Amino acid sequence: MVKLGSPNAFHWKLQYNEIESQVEAQQTILDVVNLGCVRGDRRVFRGVNFSLKPGTYLQLTGPNGSGKTSLLRILCCLLPPEEGRVEWQGAEIHSLGEDYFADVTYLGHRHGVKDELTAEENLQITAGVNGIEFDKNAIRAALGKVGLTGRESLATRLLSEGQRRRVSLARLILSNTKLWLLDEILTSLDTASVSLVRSLIEEHLTGGGMAIVATHQQLTLNAGHTDRLELQT
SS3 191: helix
In a shared domain, residues 45 and 127: no
CB within 8 A of 79, min separation 6: which ones?
37, 70, 73
- Let me know: does 172 contact 200? Beta carbons within 8 Å: yes
CA distance 90 to 98: 16
CA dist list (Å): 229 to 34, 51, 72: 14, 11, 12
Look at the chain and report how many structural domains it folds into: 2
The segments of the chain whose pLDDT lies below 50 read 1-16, 18-26
For residue 85, the cross-strand partners are: 33
- Give the per-residue pLDDT at 131: 66
Give the model's pLDDT for residue 21: 45
Range of the domain at 205: 1-103+180-233
CA–CA dist 165, 96 (Å, integer): 30
- Are 19 and 87 contained in the same domain? yes
| Final residue belonging to a domain, choices 150, 176, 202 | 176
**60 and 72 together in one domain:** yes
Give the pLDDT confidence score for residue 11 in this predicted structure: 44
Q: Let me know whether 68 and 120 are in one domain.
A: no
Looking at the structure, tell me whether residues 170 and 184 fall in a common domain. Answer: no
Boundary-marking domain end, from 135, 157, 176: 176
**Cβ partners under 8 Å of residue 6, min gap 6:** none
- The pLDDT value given to residue 130: 66
44 and 120 housed in the same domain? no
Whole-number percent of the chain with pLDDT over 70: 85
Consecutive H or E run containing 173? helix 161-174
Q: Give the sheet arrangement for strand 30-39, strand by strand.
A: 42-52, 30-39, 83-88, 91-92
- Same structural domain for residues 124 and 151? yes
Three-class secondary structure of residue 46 per DSSP: strand
Where among 134, 153, 176 does a domain terminate?
176
In a shared domain, residues 193 and 79: yes
Whether residues 31 and 96 fall in one domain: yes
State pTM to two decimals: 0.82
Q: Tell me the HSE value of 138 on the side-chain side, using a 13 A CA sphere.
A: 12
DSSP 8-state assignment for residue 118: B
Task: Clarify whether residues 50 and 160 are in a common domain.
Answer: no
Q: What is the CATH number of the domain that holds 74?
A: 3.40.50.300
pLDDT at residue 218, rounded to an integer = 81
> Do 12 and 90 belong to one domain?
yes
Q: Residue 81: its pLDDT value, please?
A: 92
**Alpha-carbon distance 21 to 37, whole Å?**
33
Long-range contact list for 79-84, CB < 8 A, 24+ apart? Answer: 79/37, 81/35, 81/36, 81/37, 82/36, 82/37, 82/38, 82/43, 82/46, 83/34, 83/35, 83/36, 83/46, 84/32, 84/33, 84/34, 84/35, 84/36, 84/48
Assess whether 77 and 184 both reside in one domain.
Answer: yes
